[in-house]
Amino acid sequence: MLDILLFGALPYVAMVLFLVVSVRRYRYEPFSFSSLSSQFLETRRLFWGSVPFHVGILAVFFGHLAGFLFPRELVLWNRVPVRLLVFEVTGLAFALLVLFGLSGLLWRRLTTSRLRVNTSPADLLVHAMLFFQVLTGLDIALRLRWGSTWFAEALAPYLRSIFLFQPDVARMAEMPLSVKLHVVGAFFFFAAFSYTRLVHILVAPVPYLWRPLQVAIWNRARPQNPAA
């Protein structure tokens, strides 16, 4: 019963919250749709937290995404033990980078008086959720070896079944506890995503790369010469 709730219903709750709340917040509360940068109040320690954290989390995220999108290729890659080892060690290194950065960020936030007054409960929730994900992920990587292969063989099909609206709860039910915790944590993460500063990921300024540098906005339509 709990399995059905956690692996059959929760993902859809998370998905709906993620989509609906993001769109609603973007449209009706655009003012708050960003991260609240604290670099202006403290910059030196931010460097040692923010950079490793972001580099690590991006690598880990795209690693997960690759495993989900190309499970076959991942299994084929991992067939040679050396390549498996390289992949796992790389992933582990990035996860440790995340842990290092995240610890630095939390420690900085809690020990700098200027930041403490500018920290919301949602910020602490984000830290807690990220810690939970990193620690359960590290547990899987270290205790249950070769997670990347069976992520491709067992978890990717489960995730796909969610998106096909036929959740394969049975497949999840037989997973080890660490994996279950990691997956449930991820669902809670996505459910809470749009209520927190994490929304800044959705507005990453990629279009800037092809935008003309200068921006001019006319209030009136320009009658004849439309050259902008």
Partner 1 sequence: MDVRAQVSMVFHLDKCIGCHTCSIACKNVWTDRKGAEYMWWNNVETKPGTGYPSAWEDQEKYKGGWQRVEGGVQLRAVGKVRGAMTVFHNPNLPTIDDYYEPFTYRYQDLFDAPEGADQPTARPISMVTGEPMDIEAGPNWDDDLGGSPMYAANDPNLEQVSAAEREALFEVQRLTFFYLPRICNHCLNPACVAACPSGALYKRGEDGIVLLNQERCRAWRFCVTACPYKKTYFNWSTGKSEKCILCYPRLETGQAPACFHSCVGRIRYLGMILYDADRIQSALAADPDKLVDAQRGLLLDPNDPEVIAGARRNGIPDDVIASAQRSPVYRWVVEWGLALPLHAEHRTLPMLFYVPPLLPVMAKVGDTGYDTSIDDFLGTVDSYRLPIQYMASLFGAGNEGVVRYALRKQLAVRTYRRAVTAGDVDMAKADSLLAAADSNRQQADAIYHLTSIAPFDERFVIPPMHREQAIEMMEDPLTAKGFEGFGFRQRPERGA
Binding test (CB under 8 A) with partner 1, winner from 72, 83, 143, 211: 211
- The residue whose two tokens read 């063989």 is 153
Instruction: Rule CB under 8 A: say whether 30 interacts with partner 1.
Output: yes
Measured from the CB atom, is 33 or 100 closer to partner 1?
33
Binding test (CB under 8 A) with partner 1, winner from 31, 79, 81, 82: 31
Measured from the CB atom, is 50 or 133 closer to partner 1?
50
Q: What's the min distance (Å) between Cβ of 197 and partner 1?
A: 6
Cβ(186)–Cβ(7) below 8 Å: no
Q: Binding to partner 1 (CB under 8 A): which residues in 38-57?
A: 38-43, 46-47, 50-51, 53-55
Instruction: Rule CB under 8 A: say whether 120 interacts with partner 1.
Output: yes
Query: Of 93, 95, 88, which Cα lies nearest the Cα of 67?
Result: 88
Query: Roughly how many angstroms between the first and final C-alpha of the chain, as a whole number?
Result: 62
Query: What is the x/- site pattern for partner 1, positions 189-208, by CB under 8 A?
Result: ------xxx--x--x-x-xx
- Tell me which stretch binds partner 1 (CB under 8 A): 70-78, 116-124, 153-161, 180-188: 116-124
Binding test (CB under 8 A) with partner 1, winner from 66, 122, 135, 138: 122
Q: What's the min distance (Å) between Cβ of 34 and partner 1?
A: 4
Joined together, the tokens standing for residue 92 give 């582990």
User: Distances from the Cα of 118 to the Cαs of 49, 99, 208, in angstroms?
Assistant: 17, 23, 29
Distance CA 149, CA 140 (A): 12
Joined together, the tokens standing for residue 53 give 């954290």
Joined together, the tokens standing for residue 85 give 């080892």
Q: What single letter denotes the amino acid at residue 86?
A: V
Residues contacting 9, CB < 8 A, separation 6+: none
Instruction: Rule CB under 8 A: say whether 223 interacts with partner 1.
Output: yes
- Tell me which stretch binds partner 1 (CB under 8 A): 29-37, 63-71, 159-167, 174-182: 29-37
Residues contacting 137, CB < 8 A, separation 6+: 60, 95, 182
Binding site for partner 1 (CB under 8 A): 25, 28-43, 46-47, 50-51, 53-55, 113-114, 116-118, 120, 122-123, 195-197, 200, 203, 205, 207-209, 211, 213-225, 227
